[in-house]
Amino acid sequence: MKRELPLFICALMGITMIIQYFIPHPYSIKFYQTVIGWFIIIMTFAFVLGIMSIARVHWNKVSRKQKDWFYSLVALISLSVTLFVGFAFGIERGKPFMLIFEYIQVPMESTMFSLLAFYIASAAFRTFRARTFEATLLLIAAVIVMLGRVPIGYMISSKIPAISGWILDIPNLAAKRGIMIGVGLGSISMGLKIILGVERSWLGTIGGE
Amino acid sequence: MRLIWSLVFILMVLTVGSALCTDETPSPPATIVVSDKGSDDGSKLRVEWSPSPDEKSTNPVLRVERYRIMRREIGGQFEEVEEVFVGEGMEKGKYVYIDSNLQLGKRYIYRVYSVSEKDVVSKGYAGGSGVPVANLFNVERLNVLIFIVAFAGLFIYFYRRAKGGVELYVRPIAGLSAVDEAIGRATEMGKPILYISGLSTVDDISTIAAITILGRVARRVAEHETKLIVPNYDPVVMLVEQEVVKQAYLEAGHPDAYSDDIVFYITTRQFSYVAAVDGIMVREKPAANFFMGYYFAESLILAETGAATGAIQIAGTDAVTQLPFFITACDYTLIGEELYAASAYLSKDPLQLGTLKAQDYMKLAIAVIMGIGIITATFGLNWFQRLFVAR
Amino acid sequence: MKNLLDKFLKMDRRYIFFLVALGVIIPLIVPIGLPVDITKPVKDVYDAIDSLPEGSYVIISLDYDPATIPELDPMAYAILRHCFRKNLKVITMTLLPAGPGVAEMATKTCAKLENKKYGEDYVFLGYKVGVSAVILGIGEDIRIPFPQDYYGTSIDDLPMMKGYKNYDDTEIVITISGTNVPASWVAYAHQRYHVNVASGVTAVMAADFYPYLQTGQMVGLIGGLKGAAEYEKLVGVPGKAFVGMDAQSIIHSLIIILIIIGNIAYFIVRKSKKEGVG
Q: Are B179 and B326 in a shared domain? A: yes
Q: Is position A111 within any domain?
A: no
> Secondary structure of B235-296 in the HEC alphabet?
HHHHHHHHHHHHHHHHHCCCHHHCCCCCEEECCCCHHHHHHHHHHHHHHHCCCEEEEECCCC
Name the nearest CA neighbour of C94 among C118, C62, C142, C139: C62
Residue B234 with chain C: CB contacts under 8 Å: none
Q: Is the pLDDT of residue C167 over 60?
A: yes
pLDDT score of B8: 52
pLDDT score of B315: 95
For C180, the closest of B100, B296, B390 (CB atoms) is B296
Q: For helices A106-127 and C240-277, what crossing angle results, to 10°?
A: 30
Q: Is position A204 within any domain?
A: no
pLDDT score of C77: 96
Q: Is position A72 within any domain?
A: yes
Contact A186 B261 (CB under 8 A): no
For C204, the closest of B201, B297, B390 (CB atoms) is B297
- Name subunits touching B (3+ CB pairs < 8 A): A, C
Q: Are B323 and B235 in a shared domain? A: yes
Name the nearest CA neighbour of B71 among B14, B19, B130: B130
Name the nearest CA neighbour of B47 among B28, B31, B34, B37: B34
Closest residue of chain C to B203, computed from CA coordinates? C132
pLDDT score of B3: 55
For A151, the closest of C16, C136, C245 (CB atoms) is C245
Lowest mean pLDDT among A199-203, C170-174, C208-212, C244-248: A199-203
**Per-chain mean pLDDT for chain C:** 90
Lowest mean pLDDT among A69-78, B356-365, C213-222: B356-365
Under the banding of pLDDT at 50, 70 and 90, the label for residue B16 is very low
Q: Is position A51 within any domain?
A: yes
| Contact present, C56 and C83 (Cβ < 8 Å) | no
A149, A154, A155: best to mutate for the C interface, most C CBs within 10 A: A149
Residue A116 with chain C: CB contacts under 8 Å: 204
CATH number of the domain bearing residue B200: 3.40.50
Q: Is the pLDDT of residue B21 over 50?
A: no
Contact A202 B240 (CB under 8 A): yes
For A98, the closest of C101, C258, C267 (CB atoms) is C101
Alpha-carbon span C12 to C32, nearest angstrom: 30
Q: Which C-chain residues 35-54 have CB contacts (< 8 A) with chain A?
A: 35-37, 39-40
For C67, the closest of A47, A98, A110 (CB atoms) is A110
Number of independent structural domains in chain B: 3
pLDDT score of C54: 94
List B112's β-bridge partners, or say none: B69, B126
- Name subunits touching A (3+ CB pairs < 8 A): B, C
Which three-class secondary structure state does DSSP give residue A200?
coil
Q: How far is C172 from chain A (nearest CA, A)?
A: 22
For B41, the closest of A26, A60, A120 (CB atoms) is A26
Please indicate if any CB of chain B lies within 8 Å of the CB of C135. no
Q: Are B321 and B209 in a shared domain? A: yes
Lowest mean pLDDT among A95-104, B32-41, B336-345: B336-345
| Contact present, A188 and B151 (Cβ < 8 Å) | yes
> Side chain identity at B226, as an amino acid letter?
T
The separation between CA A202 and the C-alpha centre of its own chain, rounded to angstroms, equals 19
Residue B296 with chain C: CB contacts under 8 Å: 178-180, 204-205
Q: How far is B51 from chain A (nearest CA, A)?
A: 32
B296, B325, B386: best to mutate for the C interface, most C CBs within 10 A: B296
DSSP H or E stretch at residue A157: none
Using alpha carbons only, what angle is made at residue B326 by residues A206 and C11, rounded to the nearest 5 degrees?
Answer: 140
Q: Is position A33 within any domain?
A: yes
Q: Is the pLDDT of residue B329 over 90?
A: no
**Burial annotation C50-74 (CB, 10 A radius, 16+ → b, else e):** eebeeebbbbbbbbbbbbbbbbbbb
Q: Are B292 and B362 in a shared domain? A: no
Residue B390 with chain C: CB contacts under 8 Å: 191
For A121, the closest of C206, C224, C255 (CB atoms) is C255
Q: Is position B210 within any domain?
A: yes
Chain segment B91-150, per-residue pLDDT in tens? 888 999 999 889 999 999 999 999 998 899 999 999 999 999 999 999 989 999 999 899
Query: What are the residue ranges in chain A where pLDDT is below 70?
Result: 1, 204-209
CATH number of the domain bearing residue B70: 2.60.40.10
A13, A22, A150, A160: best to mutate for the C interface, most C CBs within 10 A: A150
Give the residue with greater pLDDT, B342 vs B13.
Answer: B342
Mean pLDDT for the stretch of residues C96-118 = 92
Closest residue of chain A to C9, computed from CA coordinates? A126
**Per-chain mean pLDDT for chain B:** 87
> Secondary structure of C102-113 in the HEC alphabet?
HHHHHHHHHHHH
> Side chain identity at A29, as an amino acid letter?
I
Residue C204 with chain B: CB contacts under 8 Å: 296-297, 321
pLDDT score of A79: 93
For A179, the closest of B267, B336, B347 (CB atoms) is B336
Max Cα distance, chain B (Å):
99
Contact C20 A118 (CB under 8 A): yes
Please indicate if any CB of chain B lies within 8 Å of the CB of C21. no
Alpha-carbon span B71 to B129, nearest angstrom: 9
Q: How far is A182 from chain B (nearest CA, A)?
A: 6
Q: Is position A83 within any domain?
A: yes
Please indicate if any CB of chain B lies within 8 Å of the CB of C67. yes
Provide the residue range defining the domain that includes A84: 1-89
Alpha-carbon span B337 to B173, nearest angstrom: 11
Query: CA-CA-CA-CA torsion for A29, A32, A36, A38, nearest 10 degrees?
Result: 120
Q: Is position B304 within any domain?
A: yes
A110, A195, A198: best to mutate for the B interface, most B CBs within 10 A: A198
Please indicate if any CB of chain B lies within 8 Å of the CB of C165. yes
Chain segment C22-69, per-residue pLDDT in tens? 999 998 888 888 888 898 999 999 999 999 999 999 999 999 988 889
Number of independent structural domains in chain A: 1
Contact B297 C191 (CB under 8 A): no
Q: Is position B170 within any domain?
A: no
pLDDT score of A74: 94
Closest residue of chain C to A175, computed from CA coordinates? C211
Chain segment B264-316, per-residue pLDDT in tens? 999 888 888 999 999 999 999 999 999 999 998 889 889 989 988 999 999 99
Q: Is position A125 within any domain?
A: no
For C249, the closest of A37, A128, A150 (CB atoms) is A150
Contact C205 B270 (CB under 8 A): no
Closest residue of chain B to A127, computed from CA coordinates? B328
pLDDT score of B285: 94
C39, C109, C168: best to mutate for the A interface, most A CBs within 10 A: C39
Q: Which C-chain residues 212-271 have CB contacts (< 8 A) with chain B?
A: none
Q: Is position A39 within any domain?
A: yes
Q: Are B132 and B144 in a shared domain? A: no
Q: Is position B391 within any domain?
A: no
Which three-class secondary structure state does DSSP give residue B312?
strand
Mean pLDDT for the stretch of residues B318-339 = 87
Under the banding of pLDDT at 50, 70 and 90, the label for residue B1 is low
Q: Are B314 and B357 in a shared domain? A: no
Q: Are B55 and B33 in a shared domain? A: yes
Contact B355 A21 (CB under 8 A): no
Please indicate if any CB of chain A lies within 8 Å of the CB of C33. no
Provide the residue range defining the domain that includes B150: 140-165+352-386
CA distances from A143 to A140, C232, C252 (A): 5, 26, 9
Contact A176 C207 (CB under 8 A): yes
Q: Is position B102 within any domain?
A: yes
pLDDT score of A209: 39
Q: Is position B294 within any domain?
A: yes
Q: Which C-chain residues 239-268 have CB contacts (< 8 A) with chain A?
A: 245-246, 248-256, 258-259, 262-263, 266-267
Which DSSP state fits B102?
A: P
